[in-house]
Amino acid sequence: MKTIFLRVIKDRYLSLIIFLAANFGFAWMYIGLFPYIQSQAEELQKLIETYPQGFLEVFGGNVQLSFSHVENYLAMEMFSFIWPILIISLVVGMGAFSVAGEIEKGTMETILAQPISRAKIFFAKYLAGFFNLFVFTTISVLSIILLILVYGINFQLAHFLAIWLVGILFSGAIFSLASFLSAVFSDRGKVIFFTVGLVVLMYAFNILSSLKKSVEDLKFLSFFHYFNPNLILGDGKIEWLTLVVFLGAIILFFLLGLIIFKRRDISVS
C-alpha cells in the first residue's frame, strides 16, 4: 500500500509543481497590483455600482469594498475564477489517472497481481491524490499570505484559513467525483469528459439560479454555490451546509468508487 502511495506521488509531482508555479504567478500579479487598485477603490466601487444587479449576482452579489481590502479583492479576482480552474484541472487529472489511467496504460493488471486487496489499492491511490490536493491548497494559500506580507498589506489570517479549509473540501469533492468515474470507466478521456462536463453544468446551474428566480433552486445542485469566495474569504464565514455538502460528497463518491472497483472486471473496457 505504501509503495502504491509513493508511486502515485512520484508520478504526479511534476504536474503539482507546475500548477503551484502557475498559482504563484497569478497571485504575484494580483497582489502586486493591489496597492494601486486600493488607491482607486472609491472610483472603482462607483463604477461597479453602475453594473446590472444580475451581473453582480453572478459574482455572489457581495462587491462592497471589494477593492479596499485584500481579502475581498482576491475573492473576486482570483478565488472566483483562476484558483478554481487550477485546482479543478489538477484534481480531475489525478482522479482520472487513479484507476482508468492505469487500465488504459495496461498497468492495472500488474498492480492487481500484487498481494494486496483491491480496497487497499483504491484507498492508496485515493489517499495519494488527496495528499496532492492538500499540498496544493496549503502551499497556494500560504504563498499568497507570504506575498501579502512582502508587500506590507494588512490582512485577516482567519479569512485565509477559512478559504484554505473550504478549498480542501471543495477540491476533495471534485476529486472524489473524478475517482468514482475513474472506477466506472476504463478510458481516462471519458473520466475527464464526464467530470469536467458535470463541473461545467454545476457552474451553469449556479449562474442561472442567480439570474432567474424560477430556477433559483438549481444552486443547491452546484458545488459552486457552497464555494463562495466572497463569503468565505471576504467575510471569513463558513456556512454549516457547506461543510455538510462537501464532506457528504467526498464520502459518498469515495465509497461508490471503492464498491465499483472491488466488483468490476478490469479486463472489460
Domain boundaries, the chain: 2-263
Q: Which residue has the cell 508520478?
A: 11
Mean pLDDT confidence for 139-148:
97
Q: What's the pLDDT score for residue 214?
A: 84
Mean pLDDT confidence for 115-125:
91
Q: What's the pLDDT score for residue 48?
A: 62
Statement: residue 59 has pLDDT above 70:
no
Mean pLDDT (the chain) is 88
Statement: residue 57 has pLDDT above 80:
no
User: Using 50, 70 and 90 to split pLDDT, how confident is the model at 139?
Assistant: very high
Q: What's the pLDDT score for residue 31?
A: 95
Percentage of the chain modeled with pLDDT above 70? 89
Q: What's the pLDDT score for residue 207?
A: 87
pTM of the full structure: 0.89
Q: What's the pLDDT score for residue 63?
A: 47
pLDDT tens-place string over residues 208-263: 888 878 888 999 999 999 999 989 998 999 999 999 999 999 999 999 999 999 98
User: Using 50, 70 and 90 to split pLDDT, how confident is the model at 97?
Assistant: confident
Comparison of pLDDT for 115 and 162, the residue scoring more: 162
Weakest-pLDDT range from 28-32, 203-207, 262-266: 262-266
User: Using 50, 70 and 90 to split pLDDT, how confident is the model at 111?
Assistant: confident
User: Using 50, 70 and 90 to split pLDDT, how confident is the model at 108?
Assistant: confident
